[in-house]
Structure formats: structure tokens, C-alpha cells
């Protein structure tokens, strides 16, 4: 489904493989090859003609993000991501679910709004995006990226962050059902 110009940005998770000399985030092969600019939104574009609406159901272009860090962790090799984090997504946003092919999650896109329930959403393809918070494995880049993008940036590894999320989920399960632990 396409969510038209939402007044509230969606939040997703994504990864970047490297940082250029001028501190621009370089995507990790998730539907975009352009660097993410500082202090202005990344804008999706069609790499074939550059003239039609992106994202669209009939092409793979857009700014990709996963619904959760857990889903991101299933698709990204930890050693490939130098920077990862949450991103704001807005403009035209395609919800990736389970019914038609979505290159994002190697899953499917659900084209019918009324059939898209919360559990079927795997991720998003958006027209505009900007980092919300970053996690970087290179301690020297942390303050530089925070200053360049004007967002919180902390030192951490992808593997450590996923382990924290798993432990938090297990703790919640134990609180809800003490027999789990």
C-alpha cells in the first residue's frame, strides 16, 4: 500500500557500509546507491529515468528500512555494517509485507491497505528519509557523525545491539510468564 504524505514520519532501521571522507553515509546495498546528505533528507529517485514517482509498486527504487532491528539483523551481515540505526521515513511510503515481491526483506508487498496487519509488515520503501539515531562501530567517527548529521550517535557494534534487544525481549517474556525462565 502507499501511504500518502503522512504528517507523522515512520521509523525504520537500516545499515550503511561505510562513511566517505566528507562524512556522508554510504548505503549497504538496500535499494539505494546515493550517499545520504547532511542536514537534509535523502531523496529517493529512479536510477533508470529519474522522472517517475519513487517508490512505486512497479519498480524497486526508494529509501529502504526494516521495521525493526531484529528484521535488519536477519538480512545484514554484522561485519558489513559500519553504521546502523533508526531513520525517519516520510512522503510516499510503501509498506513491505508478504503478498507481492519486495526486494527489501526478500519477502512480499501487501498491496491492499485493509489486509496489512502489524505482524505482516517487514519494512518500508520511502520517498524521503533522514537518520534519527546512529550506532557506529568506529569510536573516532561517533562525534563526527553526530555533528555532521545533528543526531545522537553512540559507539556500539551491531552484534552487541542485537544481543541487548534479545535479552530485553527475554526479560519481558519472563515478567509476563515467569515459567519462561
CA distance 47 to 31: 10
Count the residues in the chain.
Answer: 181
Do residues 85 and 132 lie in contact, with contact meaning Cβ atoms separated by under 8 Å?
A: yes
- Say whether pLDDT at 89 is over 90: yes
- Say whether pLDDT at 36 is over 50: yes
- Say whether pLDDT at 30 is over 60: no
Do residues 131 and 9 lie in contact, with contact meaning Cβ atoms separated by under 8 Å?
A: no
pLDDT at 179: 58
- Say whether pLDDT at 69 is over 50: yes
What predicted TM-score, i.e. pTM, was given to this entire model?
0.78
| Choice between 137 and 165, residue whose per-residue pLDDT is larger | 137
Strand partners, 16: 27, 83
C-alpha cell belonging to residue 134: 546512529
Closest CA to 62 of 112, 10, 134: 10
Task: Report, as an integer, the average pLDDT of 18-29.
Answer: 88
- Say whether pLDDT at 98 is over 60: no
pLDDT at 178: 58
Cell 529509501 appears where? Answer: 63
Q: Dihedral through CA 122, CA 83, CA 25, CA 121, nearest 10?
A: 10
Closest CA to 125 of 113, 109, 114: 109
Give one DSSP letter per residue of 95-150, joined into a string.
Answer: EEESSEEETTTTEEE---GGG--GGG--EEEEEEEEEEEEEES-TTTHHHHHHHHT
pLDDT at 54: 82
Amino acid at each position: 500500500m502507499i501511504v500518502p504524505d503522512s504528517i507523522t514520519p515512520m521509523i525504520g532501521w537500516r545499515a550503511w557500509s561505510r562513511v566517505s571522507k566528507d562524512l556522508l553515509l554510504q548505503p549497504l546495498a538496500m535499494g539505494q546507491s546515493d550517499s545520504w546528505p547532511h542536514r537534509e533528507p535523502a531523496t529517493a529517485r529512479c536510477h533508470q529515468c529519474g522522472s517517475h514517482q519513487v517508490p512505486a509498486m512497479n519498480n524497486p527504487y526508494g529509501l529502504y528500512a526494516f521495521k525493526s532491528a531484529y528484521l535488519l539483523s536477519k538480512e545484514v551481515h554484522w561485519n558489513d555494517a559500519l553504521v546502523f540505526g533508526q531513520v525517519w521515513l516520510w512522503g510516499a511510503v510503501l509498506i513491505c509485507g508478504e503478498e507481492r515481491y519486495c526486494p527489501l526483506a526478500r519477502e512480499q508487498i501487501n498491496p491492499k491497505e485493509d489486509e496489512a496487519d502489524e505482524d505482516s509488515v517487514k519494512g518500508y520503501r520511502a520517498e524521503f528519509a533522514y537518520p534519527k539515531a546512529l550506532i557506529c562501530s568506529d569510536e573516532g567517527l561517533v562525534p563526527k557523525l553526530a555533528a555532521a548529521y545533528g543526531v545522537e550517535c553512540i559507539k556500539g557494534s551491531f552484534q552487541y545491539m542485537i544481543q541487548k534487544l534479545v535479552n530485553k525481549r527475554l526479560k519481558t517474556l519472563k515478567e509476563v510468564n515467569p515459567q519462561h525462565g
